[in-house]
Structure 1
Amino acid sequence: MAEQRVVGRPVNVTGSPADSGRRGVSDTEAPAPRRGRKALVVLAVLVLALVGVAAYLLLRPSDAGAVDTAPEPGVVVPIDPVSVNLADGHYLRLGFSVQMTADAHGEISTARALDVAIAHYSGRTMAEVNDTARRAELKTELVTLLAETFEEEVMDVYLTDFVTQ
């Protein structure tokens, strides 16, 4: 008697109840794809797109806000140079000009501007005022102090004379 050989997937012959519903269905048919995985991928793509759009809108520079917040430059008021006492018997010869905004209400008091500058630079060490990075910080602080003193009418300060001895 010849033995019959079958090439292919083994067939379950136990007749379990789980297979009873599959009778008549070919073994070559692929199971239906799961809808949950497709929905999850589509949802992930939509979330990433929304995050990208939100980041673009929040991080881009605002053209309208920049125009409104930038003050228009007005007149430049020169302040006569003055000698300021530094620490350890050193001196700073300081001269500057004040850039006013276009909305400024007339001239500023040069005496008040000098008073603010002298108070700001007095007593500092020579090394501190000669350091390039620190000098820029001191200038920025002076602009802030003058803007507070003159009710935001000061836009910038230009150092015209800065000599230490």
Structure 2
Amino acid sequence: MSKKKTDETETPEGEAKGGKKKLLVIVAVALVALGAGAYFMFFAGGDDGEPVAGEVLPLESIAVNLAGGGYLKIGIALQLTEEAASGGHGGGGVDGSKALDLVISTFSQAQPTDVTGARDALKESLRQQIIDAYTDHEEGTQMVMDVYLTEYVTQ
């Protein structure tokens, strides 16, 4: 019988310890959640200087003579930033002339095999050139944030 008494006296004590552990786990989880929420609110959710997407400006397709013969008919669209929509970069909006000139100069130097085999590399090169051409480096204003191919036909 003395064994039953010790079991009975240990049970309430064991439950109290288990209850304290559960409470500590709940408090720890709540603190982690509050810390994560504060991080996202103050650090991750803020403006990191990344441009915000605005409208997409489709440009007319053009035919480019390739260096090794043949031609490429290519169409692009520019993903503008919100700053471009507000009239930055001279106040007149974005003119696609620079972008089309860069398309011609980039692809007219390419061989037909490059146009079909290295399309992604050529597109990335063109993307970087266009973004750089439409960025005011003095003010840090970026007018174009991406370039999309809308037509790509070789012959």
TM interval, short-chain normalised: 0.5 to 0.7
Corresponding residue of 1:101: 81
The CA RMSD over aligned residues, in Å, is 1.8
Count residues with an aligned counterpart. 101
User: What are the Cα deviations for residues 110-144 of structure 1, in whole angstroms up to 9, with x where unaligned?
Assistant: 2221111111111211111111xx21121111111
Instruction: Specify every segment of 5 or more residues in structure 1 that has no aligned partner in the other structure, as ranges.
Output: 1-62
Corresponding residue of 1:130: 116
| Distance across 2 between alignment mates of 1:157 and 1:113 | 10
Tell me which stretches of 4 or more aligned residues in structure 1 moved more than 2 Å. 63-67
Corresponding residue of 2:67: 87
> Is 2:129 the counterpart of 1:149?
no
> Is 2:58 the counterpart of 1:78?
yes
Contact 1:96 1:157 in 2 (8 A): yes
Q: Give TM-score, length-normalised by structure 1.
A: 0.56
Shift of 1:69: 3.7
Contact 2:61 2:151 in 1 (8 A): yes
Give secondary structure in 2 for the equivalent of 1:87: coil
| Distance across 2 between alignment mates of 1:118 and 1:147 | 16
Over the matched positions of the two proteins, sequence identity in percent amounts to 39
Computing the radius of gyration from Cα coordinates, the structure with the larger value is 1
Give 1 or 2: higher helix fraction.
Answer: 2
Q: Give TM-score, length-normalised by structure 2.
A: 0.60
| Distance across 1 between alignment mates of 2:114 and 2:46 | 34
Shift of 1:86: 0.5
Corresponding residue of 1:140: 124
Q: 1:65 to 1:122 in 2, by over 3 A?
A: farther
Contact 2:68 2:110 in 1 (8 A): no
